């Protein structure tokens, strides 16, 4: 039982708002796949999926065990596993997860299993590389894939998809349009020669924002669900979903010349009131936020982090704040704070969110 006082509250209404915001940008028949990988971007993939399951058409996770967790929590929605890995294929089938098959090695491994069991029309997804050069078949693989598919009824291609390399960056617009065109060509080859028409999808969140025309049959929304668009204006229309809170464990009054924390990094120049908060770099608070770079909110006022961020704690300056031990502390509760934390941590908000440790208790409200 996790009674940790540092809690990430996941805002269900915000998730719903964000989902509807993207739905309005799409044709009513376009399906929505909610990406809940990496613990729902640092929240709780299971709670988010349970909350969204009657509102979306598909879920995606990165790895097989993430999909297993959803099934064990009784999530019935189709689940695409983006990076299933060969040793897990039996588990994929046991939990009725839908694998992304992205090269002949995993395609053949899955087909062999499907023939042995045997499966009947088991839903699989084929990913094509159109420029990200991460996972995916090449268009030159198409004839062989189609020939192999024609010889089996043990698997059925549920969708063909690809992933954009720079959908958020309009300076790379030509590259993105080229990716979309390549994908369209790949889809046409399948539609012409396969005998049935799998679903098509290529857009992630910023793809929906910038290239909504390429929505095909489904879009895959991750970061947008959690409150972040491409830019400030877009993000302003979304609602923050991740609210991280804690409490003051202890308050110290220290005198000039005394220091706070490891390596004595903070040296008091005047009498200083310092508050210790139970969250540290092991919870996803970057050490770059130490030494007055980062702050938290105590009783509606900013309290800067003083000294170095410890593994399990931070100390903040509350000299000018009326507060006591046990008072609530907001680590972040809006996108502006999260963007600031990401900037100071020299990263992007994707990393700031997914860095939130599984040790922190998560509650969807």
Ligand X SMILES: *Cc1c(COP(=O)(O)O)cnc(C)c1O
Instruction: Kindly write down the DSSP assignment for every residue of 89-114, as one continuous string.
Output: HHHHHHTT-EEEE-SHHHHHHHHHHH
Cα–Cα distance, 304 to 315 (Å, whole number):
8
**Rule CB under 6 A: which of 78-107 touch ligand X?**
82
- Note whether 220 binds ligand X by CB under 6 A: yes
Stretch in the footprint of ligand X (CB under 6 A) among 1-9, 12-20, 202-210, 300-308:
202-210
Stretch in the footprint of ligand X (CB under 6 A) among 114-122, 216-224, 267-275, 319-327:
216-224
List 223, 268, 306, 323, residue binding ligand X (CB under 6 A): 223
Cα–Cα distance, 240 to 189 (Å, whole number):
41
147-150 contacts at long range (C-beta below 8 A, 24 or more positions apart): 148/107, 148/111, 149/194, 150/194, 150/195
Residue 128 or 295 having the CB closest to ligand X: 128
296 strand-pairing partners: 303
Closest CA to 333 of 24, 46, 8, 3: 8
- Note whether 221 binds ligand X by CB under 6 A: yes
58 strand-pairing partners: 33
Stretch in the footprint of ligand X (CB under 6 A) among 51-59, 203-211, 267-275, 295-303:
203-211
Q: Least distance (Å) from ligand X to the CB of residue 365?
A: 22
Residue 327 or 351 having the CB closest to ligand X: 351
**Rule CB under 6 A: which of 130-169 touch ligand X?**
163
- Note whether 240 binds ligand X by CB under 6 A: no
> Which residues touch 174 (CB under 8 Å, ≥6 apart)?
none
* DSSP three-state, residue 8: strand
Residue 166 or 282 having the CB closest to ligand X: 166
Stretch in the footprint of ligand X (CB under 6 A) among 184-192, 220-228, 246-254, 261-269:
220-228
List contacts with ligand X (CB under 6 A): 35, 82, 163, 204-206, 220-224
């Amino acid at each position: 039982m996790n009674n940790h006082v540092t809690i990430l509250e996941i805002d269900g209404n915000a998730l719903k708002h964000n989902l509807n915001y993207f739905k309005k940008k799409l044709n009513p028949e376009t399906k929505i796949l909610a990406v809940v990988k990496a613990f729902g971007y640092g929240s709780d993939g299971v709670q988010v999926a349970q909350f969204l399951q009657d509102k979306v058409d598909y879920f995606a996770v990165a790895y097989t065990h993430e999909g297993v967790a959803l099934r064990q929590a009784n999530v019935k929605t189709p689940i695409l596993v983006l990076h299933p890995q060969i040793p897990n294929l039996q588990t994929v089938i046991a939990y009725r997860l839908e694998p992304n098959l992205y090269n002949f090695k995993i395609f053949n491994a899955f087909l062999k299993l499907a023939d042995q069991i045997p499966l009947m029309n088991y839903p699989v997804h084929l990913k094509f590389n159109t420029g990200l050069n991460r996972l995916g078949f090449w268009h030159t693989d198409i004839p062989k894939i189609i020939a192999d598919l024609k010889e089996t009824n043990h698997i059925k291609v549920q969708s063909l998809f690809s992933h954009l390399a720079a959908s958020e960056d309009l300076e790379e617009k030509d590259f993105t349009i080229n990716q979309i065109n390549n994908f369209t060509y790949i889809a046409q080859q399948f539609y012409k020669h396969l005998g049935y028409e799998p679903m098509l999808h290529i857009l992630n969140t910023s793809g929906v924002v910038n290239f909504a025309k390429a929505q095909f049959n489904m879009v895959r929304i991750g970061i947008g669900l959690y409150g972040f668009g491409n830019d400030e204006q877009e993000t302003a229309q979304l609602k923050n979903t991740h609210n991280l809170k804690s409490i003051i464990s202890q308050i110290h009054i220290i005198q000039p010349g005394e220091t706070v924390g490891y390596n004595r990094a903070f040296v008091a120049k005047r009498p200083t009131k310092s508050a210790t908060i139970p969250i540290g770099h092991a919870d996803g608070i970057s050490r770059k936020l130490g030494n007055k770079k980062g702050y938290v909110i105590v009783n509606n006022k900013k309290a800067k982090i003083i000294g170095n961020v410890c593994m399990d704690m931070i100390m903040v300056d509350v000299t000018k704040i009326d507060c006591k031990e046990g008072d609530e502390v907001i680590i972040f509760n809006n996108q502006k704070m999260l963007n600031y934390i990401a900037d100071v941590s020299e990263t992007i908000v994707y990393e700031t969110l997914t860095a939130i440790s599984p040790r922190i208790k998560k509650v969807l409200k």
